[in-house]
Amino acid sequence: MAKSTAFKVTALTPAAGSVAMKETQALDRLIHEKVRLGIVSALAASGPLTFTELRSLLETTDGNVSVHARRLEEAGYINCIKRFEGRVPRTEYSLTPEGRQALERYLDHLEAIVGAMRPR
Amino acid sequence: MSSPRPAVAITDHALEQLKYIRETMERSGSFTAVPGWGGVAMGASALLAAVIAARQTDNHMWGIVWMCEVVLAVAIGSAFIYRKTRRGDRSASAAPGRQFFLSFSPPVAAGGFLSWILYQQGAWNVLPGLWLLLYGAGVVTAGAFSIRIVPMMGVCFMVLGAAALACPASWGNWFLAFGFGVVHIVFGWIIARRYGG
């Protein structure tokens, strides 16, 4: 454990720290939040998912999924389709091309931050 | 000049976020509607089929009993998958379900084709081992898109299939009983208890 801490501290030159700071500032704040990041990641991996699927996948509450999904929908990152199957309402979410690009950009930034800290 | 300590925290946070993304993607890509109770029911029907098949003196009748069992098992499995997906508000045709069935189908289809050829040639003695081996191969490959216990179940079928091919042909029916019966019941029960039905 001590070895790992020493490695991290010695790897941090001021230049690397500066790159990491810059990349952090460039992170998309909208999908940086955990539930929203979970929604976008799940939709990117599996395609369209229902409200219930997302809720159980992310192990969160109805309200959380609802609020965060609405934020993503307003940003144009996800689509929401509401319909009835018989008498049962069904809400299905899917990722838009903009949402996929946002996730890819976010991953690029994270990788840049981690890459800046690697010893050269 | 920037301090190194916040940058360490930033890196750790970035790694945590990457781990979270990977785990969420893995979970969402899994087909979780493998029916545990359906497996138990399929196992029970296979045990019954094995008892009926053992009483047959004619190879053709023995084959017909097991073909009926295949149809029954497919019907049971489909009904339980439908029930489990409906209860979880999931669709069996969603991406993980599609990947599961696309991976499961080729070895099983190959098994069906080989069975037909071997049936024409009267090579009954290799059918139990072949069925267990290729069904197991299908479960292992499909299990890559499902919960971890599924590929383990597939390996059990494959081991039993290989053993059936190596053992005397007269044991074949009991290998089928143990594989399609007992293995389905044991793993089905575990899946039902741990993964919601």
- The pLDDT tens digits of the residues spanning B27-43 come to 776 666 778 899 999 99
Which one of B7, B26, B29 has the shortest CB-CB distance to A16? B7
Return the amino acid letter for A87: R
Which one of B14, B21, B95 has the shortest CB-CB distance to A46? B95
Which one of A18, A44, A53 has the shortest CB-CB distance to B25? A44
Q: Which of A57-61, A73-77, B22-26, B142-146 has the highest mean pLDDT?
A: A73-77
**B114 has which bridge partners?**
none
CB contact under 8 A, B24 and A41: yes
Between A75-79, A92-96, B16-20, B33-37, the lowest mean confidence (pLDDT) is in B33-37
Best B27, B87, B146 member to test A by mutation, with max A CBs in 10 Å, is: B27
The token duo for B176 is 């089928």
- Residue ranges of the alpha helices (H) in chain A? 2-11, 14-26, 29-32, 34-46, 51-58, 62-74, 97-117
Q: Which residues contact B135 (CB under 8 A, 6 or more apart)?
A: B107, B108, B111, B157, B161, B179, B180
Q: What is the mean pLDDT of chain B?
A: 87
The predicted-structure confidence for B90-137, as pLDDT tens digits, reads as follows 555 566 677 788 889 999 999 999 999 998 898 989 999 999 999 999
* pTM > 0.90: yes or no: no
Cα atoms in the Cβ-side hemisphere of radius 13 Å centred on B65: 22
What's the pLDDT at B101? 86
Return the residue of A nearest to B14 by Cα: A110
What's the pLDDT at A86? 76
Where is pLDDT greater, at A119 or B12?
Answer: B12
The stretch B56-81 carries a mean pLDDT of 92
